[in-house]
Amino acid sequence: MATQNTLQQSSLEALRLEAIEAIRAGDLGHVTELTERMKEAEAILAKQARPKRDPQKAINFTKGALDAIPIPAPGKRETYHDTKTPGLQLRVTDTGSKTFVVRRRVRSGNAERVTLGTYPAMTPEQARRRATEVNAEIAQGISPTTEKKRIKLAARTLSEVLEEYIQVRGNLKASTVRDMHQALKEVCGEWLNKPLNKITPAMLEARHREHATRSMARANVAMRYLRALFNFAMVRYLDSDGNPLILVNPVLRLSRLKLWHRVEGKQTLIKPYELAAWWAGVEGLPDTAMRDYFKLLVLTGLRRNEALFLLWENVDLMSRSITIKNPKNHRDLNLPLSDYLFELLNRRKASAVSGYVFASIDGKLVVDTRWNQKAITRASGVSFSPHDCRRTFATIAESLDIPAYALKRLLNHASGDDVTAGYIVASVERLREPMQKITNYVLKAAGVRETASILRLKQG
């Protein structure tokens, strides 16, 4: 047998070499013929490589015969074959456990093992009936393993897929994770316990349209999160042949029918003539941490959480700079401190009781700043959001003719397709003068400083 095996392997290798020459010669017809012959040779080798079944382990599965099977030696496992039902086996372990399985080759050529149950809870007669059903499924081209995975997937809920997505991604920001939970609960909360494959394109279209009456932006956000989860599931959940169990992303219906809502970006900001009242409203807050927090927002253009969760370990008073770690674009931002911000942070450092820059005097961090924001609005008459401070900073910078590349660095905006911007490295010191100019303008407009002339802001 070994000699015959060696001959078959030599023949297969000769066919492969001949096929390579045929490919080089461009003889496609001969390549096709050789490919078929190689498949036949491989099949023969695979058949010869299969271990021969021990005749003593092919028995008629009866209660008496199964009870008489000896327990294998420690660390061993034995397999017995039923003489009446093709593919039906009994696997016996060294603990005495006896399990009925069916082992057959499916249409793809792969061998699959299907566990039926344990003996004696399952009788030989019951095992034969179930084995016959499995054999019938395989004869119809159904893979038991794939079907089992499909059934398991059918039970996976939107909530379970969401948690698995978050776990697998691993590097999602905490704010992103919070927003995913919040958006899905807000827009389709009753679907969280629904199997993922029961969410249809029609359901998504209807819900997207319905929620748009409350917020078109949030309807879009939730659908984008759902699109990401379905894309994840299409790659994550595969059958035994590596084919996706979810074939179509139902959210694509919104793109194909052009149903995404057009949401214009906000253009609101604190106008120059409002800055004095707004600053006075900030000064009226009872919590000094919140007063300094809102001042930092408008004087740096930082995003809400970038400023709120600033740590003292990322403040360098010696070099008069701060570093924002892992911001929105995942590129650390190093910003210079203007004279006013240096004094503000120096004062806060002297009485710091927490690792957070804007912790209150009791060491606690105010995560929800909405009460303070509303208090400023009531006192000043200026309605604003934390992101309006960022737009105010950017608009003032542009009106002061701050170079575009410097402004991009101050705001930590990605360069996009601007190749030139990728070659420009703006050091902290190069950004110090633009930062100081913006501070001077804001403080002059707020009535805090008399060192800047007020220009009319350029607004598109």
Spell out the domain ranges in the chain: 2-49, 55-142, 158-256, 272-445
For residue 288, pLDDT over 60 is answered with yes
pLDDT digits (tens, 9 = 90+) for 217-256: 999 999 999 999 999 999 888 776 677 878 889 999 999 9
pLDDT digits (tens, 9 = 90+) for 80-106: 999 999 999 999 999 999 999 999 887
DSSP for 371-410? HHHHHHHHHH-----HHHHHHHHHHHHHHTT--HHHHHHH
**What number does CATH give the domain 158-256?**
1.10.150
Query: Across 220-367, where does the E strand assignment appear?
Result: 315-316, 321-324, 333-336
pLDDT digits (tens, 9 = 90+) for 130-155: 999 988 888 887 777 777 777 777 67
Question: Which pLDDT belongs to residue 419?
Answer: 42
What number is the average pLDDT over the span 6-19?
73
For residue 292, pLDDT over 60 is answered with yes
Question: Which pLDDT belongs to residue 460?
Answer: 45
Share of the chain above pLDDT 90, in %: 63
User: Which range is least confidently modeled, 15-29, 198-212, 415-429?
Assistant: 415-429
User: In this predicted model, which residue has the larger pLDDT, 326 or 274?
Assistant: 274
Model confidence at 424, in pLDDT bands (50, 70, 90)?
very low
pLDDT digits (tens, 9 = 90+) for 63-73: 999 999 999 99
DSSP for 140-203? TT--HHHHHHHHHHHT-BHHHHHHHHHHHH----HHHHHHHHHHHHHHHGGGTTSBGGG--HHH
Distance CA 174, CA 166 (A): 10
Distance CA 111, CA 107 (A): 9
User: In this predicted model, which residue has the larger pLDDT, 460 or 50?
Assistant: 50
For residue 209, pLDDT over 70 is answered with yes
Distance CA 102, CA 9 (A): 31
Does the bond joining 120 to the residue before it have cis omega, within 30 degrees of 0?
Answer: yes
**How buried is residue 25: exposed, middle or buried, by Cβ count under 10 Å (0-12/13-18/19+)?**
exposed
Model confidence at 29, in pLDDT bands (50, 70, 90)?
confident
CATH match of 272-445 with 1.10.443.10 = yes
Neighbours of 455 (CB within 10 A): 13
Question: Which pLDDT belongs to residue 391?
Answer: 95
Question: Which pLDDT belongs to residue 52?
Answer: 55
Q: At how many degrees (to 10) do helices 339-350 and 288-300 cross?
A: 150
DSSP 331: S
The reply to whether 272-445 shares the fold of 158-256 is: no
pLDDT digits (tens, 9 = 90+) for 168-177: 998 898 889 9
What number is the average pLDDT over the span 19-38?
77
Mean pLDDT, the chain, integer: 87
55-142 falls under which CATH superfamily? Integrase, DNA-binding domain (3.30.160.390)
